[in-house]
Structure 1
Amino acid sequence: MNLRSAEETAEWLGQLGGWAIAASILFNILISISGVLPSAFLSGANAIVFGLPLGFSISLIGEVLGALISYWLYRKGLLVLRRRGARLRKWRERIANAGKVRQFVLILFARVLPFIPSGAVTFFAAWIKMNVLAFMVATLVGKAPSIAAEVWLGYSLFAFFS
């Protein structure tokens, strides 16, 4: 995480007053939709502005809502792509038919691993037409540890260098 980015984002959020929470959640949703932008700096900024418990909650809500909206958008966009790629179709069908528990565990595991891009996990879940509720629960549980680490790290770095 770039401390400077977290500080600049925290400063921006601090200027928004009562709109800061809504802006942070919206910003997190936009980051999730992009599928490639990291959100660690925003989690750190939330910790700086709102403190650890509230910063964690805001970050988690933003990431989960962002994942849900991305899932929906990806799923709609994939309708066009489903007609192509015969080789990938067999692999996708195998996973799609693996059962809800296996799909849940796969998404949960992918969310917990820090080196798998969040957008890729969301895209994959949409591609296999995973149940939305199972996707949301796996995302909530799987994202919580990494968001807690990002919030704590951002808060600690800011406190250390302030």
Structure 2
Amino acid sequence: MRKKLAMGLFYAGVAAFIYWRHESIIGWVQSPAPTVVVIMIATLMALFPVIPYPIIGGVIGAAYGPLLGGGITWVGSTAASLLMFLFVRYGYQDWGIRLLYQTKGLSKMTVMFEKNAFLFILFARLIPIIPSLIVNVYSALGKVSFASYAIASSLGKIPSMLLFVLVGDGLVTDPRNAWISLLVYGGFLAVTLTGYKWWRRQYASG
């Protein structure tokens, strides 16, 4: 109990510090700095999302361009999601399993999720309106292997991270590029959702 409380207080304390110093942190991202330092900052900002990560991705894209900025944003977001998974898995999973299997409806949904965890996580990452924190915590509390989570989460983050930096870079270089990026991502998302619905029908009929 004390360990869980201490871990929770530590997380809340770091989040409060980042919120207090977020202007300075964003300034470090915008100024010339070693790539490793920027990746560490991106990881912290994703792990403690006191500022929406799409904003961070846009700032990085505007400062470092779509190629390097996209890589930095993706690595930071992926590293943060893996750290959060491990934090919850080894700190709170015993509580989480009791909670997830406490009611019949939630238990059935959790079992279905665990059987198809890779695809569910992959598609959840492709839809930017689904909060990343929910995917991280739900996956860690359930019986999802770290390998499946890591691969599906990493792959699913690629399109949205590219979108964030392309929009940020486009707003600086040519605003029309930002709208083109949004249209391309919208088309990609539509194709993804269509494929997911087709897979669900096939799975249900099988």
TM-score (norm 2): 0.63
Q: 1:119 to 1:64 in 2, by over 3 A?
A: same
| 2:58–2:169 contact (8 Å) kept in structure 1 | yes
The partner residue of 2:39 within 8, 25, 45 is: 25
User: Residue 95 of structure 1 corresponds to which residue in structure 2?
Assistant: 112
1:147 matches 2:161: yes
Q: 1:147 to 1:83 in 2, by over 3 A?
A: closer
Percent identity at matched positions?
24
Q: Distance in 2 between matches of 1:42 and 1:12?
A: 12
For residues 78-112 of structure 1, what are the alpha-carbon distances to aligned partners after superposition, in whole Å with 9 as ceiling and x for unaligned?
235236432277346523652xxx11000001101
1:87 is matched by which residue type in structure 2? T
**Superposition RMSD in Å:** 2.7
Q: Distance in 1 between matches of 2:61 and 2:119?
A: 29
| 2:97–2:142 contact (8 Å) kept in structure 1 | no
1:138 is matched by which residue type in structure 2? A
The partner residue of 1:38 within 42, 52, 56 is: 52
Aligned length: 150
User: Residue 47 of structure 1 corresponds to which residue in structure 2?
Assistant: 61
Instruction: Give the structure with higher Rg (CA).
Output: 2
User: Residue 104 of structure 1 corresponds to which residue in structure 2?
Assistant: 118
Q: RCO (CA 8 Å, sep 6+): is it higher in 1 or 2?
A: 1
Q: 1:133 to 1:116 in 2, by over 3 A?
A: same
Unaligned 5+ segments in structure 1 are: none
The partner residue of 2:149 within 112, 128, 135 is: 135
Q: Distance in 2 between matches of 1:82 and 1:149?
A: 33
Q: Distance in 2 between matches of 1:37 and 1:131?
A: 29
| 1:92–1:128 contact (8 Å) kept in structure 2 | no
Q: Distance in 1 between matches of 2:33 and 2:44?
A: 20
| 2:58–2:165 contact (8 Å) kept in structure 1 | yes
1:69 matches 2:83: yes
Q: Distance in 1 between matches of 2:97 and 2:66?
A: 46
Q: Distance in 1 between matches of 2:123 and 2:103?
A: 25
